[in-house]
Structure 1
């Protein structure tokens, strides 16, 4: 099973990198849109996958590949923390508050919605 998680993690990391670069070019870097989009979409996907797994519609191998591996490599809490710190260091407190609060609230809601549609 570990190889399924590793393979999914590799693909998830590449997807995160590509989407992050695209978002930075598309929306700029004043607000960390790339990480925000990645974490929200990853939260939705993980909620949906978890719902499918708990309903026995997804095998353990696919859960390891997609849930543990892909979503684990795709989403990024460490970058979220780093970017929050950068906003604070630049004294962009309002932007940081919006980023932190919206990431947590919208991320949790996206997970719930993903689980709900499974």
Structure 2
């Protein structure tokens, strides 16, 4: 079973807007708070987790979420908005620069607050995952 062209286009469209939003928000946080810590990446990952929790709770009807809304928003938009690769690279950069404490803080805050944001989003949407 393959993915249709229409489905791929929904993901691509959402991903394009998600990627642009990530760059804009990351740059805004860097301007506000500086670049000593990857605040922008942390913010987009937490916002993305929160939104995904709400979306998954809203669209979950006893089976894994799917369909056009899921593809364009969850897979495309939020997939393009959040970023594991930037998180990983920035964490490595902190570590290699002798800032092990900041690297560890980035890992712990991203994972802990990311799961918490996902759960909060799901809870606020009126359900659970």
Matched, 1:63 2:59: no
More helix by share: 1
Shift of 1:115: 1.2
Which residue in 1 is equivalent to 2:14?
8
Return the alpha-carbon distance in structure 2 between the equivalents of residues 47 and 59 of structure 1. Answer: 14
RMSD between aligned alpha carbons? 1.4
TM-score of the pair, normalised by structure 1: 0.94
Return the alpha-carbon distance in structure 1 between the equivalents of residues 77 and 45 of structure 2. Answer: 12
Residue of 111, 118, 123 corresponding to 1:116:
123
Residue of 27, 37, 43 corresponding to 2:43:
37
Which residue in 1 is equivalent to 2:82?
75
Secondary structure at the residue paired with 1:72? Answer: helix
Return the alpha-carbon distance in structure 1 between the equivalents of residues 115 and 61 of structure 2. Answer: 20
TM-score of the pair, normalised by structure 2: 0.86
Return the alpha-carbon distance in structure 1 between the equivalents of residues 39 and 66 of structure 2. Answer: 33
Return the alpha-carbon distance in structure 1 between the equivalents of residues 100 and 86 of structure 2. Answer: 17
Larger radius of gyration: 2
Q: Which runs of 5+ in 1 are unaligned?
A: none
Return the alpha-carbon distance in structure 2 between the equivalents of residues 111 and 103 of structure 1. Answer: 12
